[in-house]
Amino acid sequence: MLVKSKSDCTHYILFTKEPIAKLFGGVSVAIFWLAKGGVRSKLQTVCENEHEARREIARKTPQIVLQLALKTFLAKISLMTDKLQSTDGIVLHVLPFRDYDKILTLYTRDLGVIKVIIRKSLMSKISRGSIDPLTRAEFVLSAGKNDLFRCEDISLQNQNLKLREHLPRLQAACDMAYAITSSQMLHKPSSELYNLFISFLERLPLISDPEILLSSFYIKLLRHEGLLLITDFCSICRAPLSNSYLAKGERFCKEHAPNYALSFSKTEAEMIQILNFSRSFRELSAMELTRAFAMKIKDFFTMTLRDSSIFLDR
């Protein structure tokens, strides 16, 4: 039989009188229809699942919209919150601005040295006094133009009024504040240095000679900045030293000292090490510093900062 089409093929399989061909053909047709039915069933299931999924999504649409709106709202709140930053800080300098506003230079625990503008309206809310240098407070800040922050709120913590009762004490505190101003870059926080500054300001009223704490602060600050390397040997020839010369934060023998180096006796060099490493207020209180030695420490501090090119003449 000549098969010319699909219907001819089906007709041949079903109605042929050849038994083997008929059996083979019947099985093939059955498999074909079963397979076809399975595919149809699967397709139907997929379609039903898809419709069900769409119905499910449609049912949940109001919830999804609400969830998205809530997430957006929370994100905006978070953004607004992130713009406000609270930090503990000490006022280093106050500059009157316009008629009643002020620009403060602060040394803060979390942001280092920063400049902050404080409006007259906020100043009038501070009932317990004004914002003067050496005042410690909790500042709530928002980002302003360039590097200038805006002060949104202030909680006074300590106005350090005892520092203002004694001129040498006040002078030492102001010199510490100036040492911070002239050595710290903007926005370079150091909790270690901040804690040292706070601790020394609090202890200034408790010591008879404020210049001991000031000298120790200068030396510790140089070490904190990595500008101090005092050993018992000349930094160049390694010769053991008794009398020595200090410059660039190091000790030299007479032969290798720069011509501007400051001369220190062996006893004075040992006192510098106590000022440097002492962690005991009692030990510092027991020291006796001459005025000339204290002045040399101050000169050494300023000279070392200038040599290192980090002296900030603000």
Binding residues for Zn ion, rule: CB under 5 A, are 234, 236-237, 253, 256
Closest to Zn ion by CB, 54 vs 254, is 254
d(CA 291, CA 29): 116
Residue 249 Cβ vs Zn ion, minimum distance, rounded to whole Å: 16
Residue 255 Cβ vs Zn ion, minimum distance, rounded to whole Å: 5
Residue 273 Cβ vs Zn ion, minimum distance, rounded to whole Å: 19
CA 78 to chain centre: 19
Burial of 214 (0-12, 13-18, 19+ CB in 10 A): buried
Closest to Zn ion by CB, 237 vs 286, is 237
B/e letters for 90-127, b = 16+ CB within 10 Å, e = fewer, are bbbbbeeeeeeebbbbbbbbebbbbbbbbbeebeeeee
3-state SS assignment for residue 27 = helix
Residue 270 Cβ vs Zn ion, minimum distance, rounded to whole Å: 19
d(CA 102, CA 87): 19
d(CA 222, CA 204): 20
C-beta separation of 205 from 163 below 8 A: yes
Strands (E), 159-218: none
Q: Shortest Cβ contact with Zn ion: which residue? A: 234
Closest to Zn ion by CB, 91 vs 257, is 257
Residue 252 Cβ vs Zn ion, minimum distance, rounded to whole Å: 6
Residue 239 Cβ vs Zn ion, minimum distance, rounded to whole Å: 5
Closest to Zn ion by CB, 238 vs 306, is 238
Closest to Zn ion by CB, 235 vs 304, is 235
Plot region of 249 (φ>0 → left; ψ -120 to 50 → alpha; else → beta):
left
d(CA 261, CA 235): 13
Closest to Zn ion by CB, 160 vs 244, is 244
